[in-house]
Structure 1
Amino acid sequence: MDQFKDWIIENPTIYSIAKFALIVTFLILLIQFLRRFLKNNITNTTARYKSQKTVEFIGYVLLVILSFSYFTGNIKDLTLAIGLFSAGIAFTLQELILSIVGSIYIYVVNVYKPGDRIEINGIKGDVIDVDSMYTTMMEIGQWVSSDNYSGRIVKLSNAFVFKGPIYNYSQDFPFIWDEFNLPIKYGSDIELAKSLVIEIASKALTEHTVSSKAQWKEVVNKY
């Protein structure tokens, strides 16, 4: 024990770094434990997702504050260090800061959530995940006809929520409007064609779950 104390006195820097590493490891393990606990004990998918993201965000904020306070030594120095640090990164890491603020904005204002179909920065798809930096989407459209998945996973910076419009196809209205072209030659009976389309659509709604143009065309051909 005395030898260990002597070693600490002789190597204060190494001891300080090792102690800090243990504290950080403990805090990260605690965050993961809380996330797993919430995952196993909250049945509602939306509430479980939001609670896990909240724990993760608070945990990493505490980790940053702990890092500053540990190496600066007191609150006064901590305030000064945070001020200098903020001034330094505000210019060099503008996009990063905007992405983090964007994630908070998305969460607080409920701009969109996992499961929503959105269009942002010209990219349309279903939201898979929203983390502190990126929104992950399953892309639809592009070279694929109709609203089918293209097979690509797209990661967009959360900063885009401040740079342009966001189209949410799922929020507040559970339906997505779509259309298909039905060619009718000149001289046709328009009223008859209209009644036939309404009849076919009514049958389709009662007998089929229609989710794409291709399925609509199959139903029309069937009848």
Structure 2
Amino acid sequence: MSGRNYIGIIVFAFIILALSYINYFTAIASNYGDTLLKLIQASVIIMLAYLVNSLIENIIGKQVHDTKNRYTLRKVVSVIITLLAAGAIMIVFLKETTTLIVAYGILSAGVVITLQDVFRSFAGGIVILFSRTFQAGDRIQVGDCYGDVLDINYFHTTLMEIREWVDGDQYTGRILTMPNSFVLDSTVKNYTRDFSFIWDEVTIILSPESDWKKSRDIALQTTNSLIEDYVEHSKKELASMERKYMFTSYDVDTKIFLFVESDRIEMHLRYVVDTKQRRYVNDLLTQGLLDAFATEPDIIIGSISSIEITKMP
């Protein structure tokens, strides 16, 4: 303990000794003996609470290295010990049980209201720990916040942010620190829990006179050659999910859906990909499709209004 803590204990010990001397060795005790005894007991309670709080603060200071967590834990411990000490002092001074319960209830309610955010964050941490809503390494979304979970502690969850001004689910470089209370009243979208893949789409615009059947076959062949491993692993994870959830397996094979407009044909290429490789695979796939279509004179990328600009050589 620090020198300040030692001084505080010495002061309380001196007060206890002084009150004890007055109570047992002076004539004052005959008139105020009951009151003096209560003061001695209250002083002992305060000194014990001060001692316990100092010891726990020292332990927290040695074991908890994060500044925010250390401050929050010390604050919570101090409040709890103060609440217990105040309750014990009430027991000493208040003899009527009903009065004691009412006073203790009012004090407890005041403390809870004052520190409701702290208690909610701590409760949220307990929920995360036991429900395993997410864990370190998962990619999650909470409201407008997206990121990979870096750390989960008693009161806060730390994320490495993605999106915002950066496209393709890539990192922005910012660290997000969120109080764990969000898990109590917000929807947590987990991109990687139990199933670490997502479905992504690439839209291909063709001119109306393009050979759409050949385009479809080329797109399917190019895509399947790039994502073969993803399809295989995603099927295994889906099979595992069937044993855990009431779940009917989705078809993870690559699909193409056509949509015809007056001046174009839209091909929506749907494929499965690792959550954290989305932009990388999208780029590889786009390059592969452009290279494949470039050798086909009967496939024109673009709509009628943009044929002169986007027609492949």
**TM-score scaled to structure 2, two decimals?**
0.49
SS in 2 for 1:153: strand
SS in 2 for 1:183: strand
Which of 5, 8, 14 is the equivalent residue of 1:10? 14
Residue correspondence of structure 1 range 153-172 to structure 2 within 5 A: 153-172=175-194
Report the Cα distance in structure 1 between the residues aligned to 2:53 and 2:181, rounded to whole angstroms.
Answer: 32
Which of 284, 304, 307 is the equivalent residue of 1:215? 284
1:114 and 1:127 in contact (8 A); partners too: yes
SS in 2 for 1:217: helix
Match of 2:168 in 1: 146
The total of aligned residue pairs comes to 195
- The Cα shift of 1:10 comes to 3.1
Post-superposition Cα deviations, 1:160-186, rounded to whole Å, max 9, x if no partner, equal 223232211111212122222222222
- The Cα shift of 1:119 comes to 0.9
Match of 2:140 in 1: 118
Matched, 1:89 2:93: no
Report the Cα distance in structure 1 between the residues aligned to 2:196 and 2:206, rounded to whole angstroms.
Answer: 31
Structure 2 gap ranges (5+): 1-9, 17-42, 66-72, 93-99, 231-273, 293-313
Report the Cα distance in structure 1 between the residues aligned to 2:168 and 2:143, rounded to whole angstroms.
Answer: 19
- The Cα shift of 1:132 comes to 2.3
Report the Cα distance in structure 2 between the residues aligned to 1:9 and 1:168, rounded to whole angstroms.
Answer: 56
For the aligned residues, what is the CA RMSD? Answer: 4.1
Match of 2:246 in 1: none
Matched, 1:27 2:59: yes
Structure 1 gap ranges (5+): 1-5, 34-57
- The Cα shift of 1:117 comes to 0.9
Report the Cα distance in structure 2 between the residues aligned to 1:203 and 1:21, rounded to whole angstroms.
Answer: 64
SS in 2 for 1:176: strand
Matched, 1:131 2:135: no
- The Cα shift of 1:123 comes to 1.4
Matched, 1:185 2:220: no
Post-superposition Cα deviations, 1:51-106, rounded to whole Å, max 9, x if no partner, equal xxxxxxx99988876666578769x68x9797555311332333332222111111
| Structure with greater proportional strand content | 2
SS in 2 for 1:106: helix
Report the Cα distance in structure 2 between the residues aligned to 1:92 and 1:66, rounded to whole angstroms.
Answer: 15
- The Cα shift of 1:134 comes to 2.0
Report the Cα distance in structure 1 between the residues aligned to 2:229 and 2:142, rounded to whole angstroms.
Answer: 35
Report the Cα distance in structure 2 between the residues aligned to 1:178 and 1:156, rounded to whole angstroms.
Answer: 28
- The Cα shift of 1:116 comes to 0.9
Are the structure 2 counterparts of residues 21 and 180 from structure 1 closer, same or farther at C-alpha, using a change threshold of 3 Å?
same
1:31 and 1:59 in contact (8 A); partners too: no
What is the identity, as a one-letter code, of the residue corresponding to 1:92? T
What is the identity, as a one-letter code, of the residue corresponding to 2:110? G
SS in 1 for 2:150: strand
What is the identity, as a one-letter code, of the residue corresponding to 2:159? M
1:139 and 1:151 in contact (8 A); partners too: yes
SS in 2 for 1:171: coil
Post-superposition Cα deviations, 1:140-179, rounded to whole Å, max 9, x if no partner, equal 1121111111222112222222323221111121212222
2:222 and 2:285 in contact (8 A); partners too: no
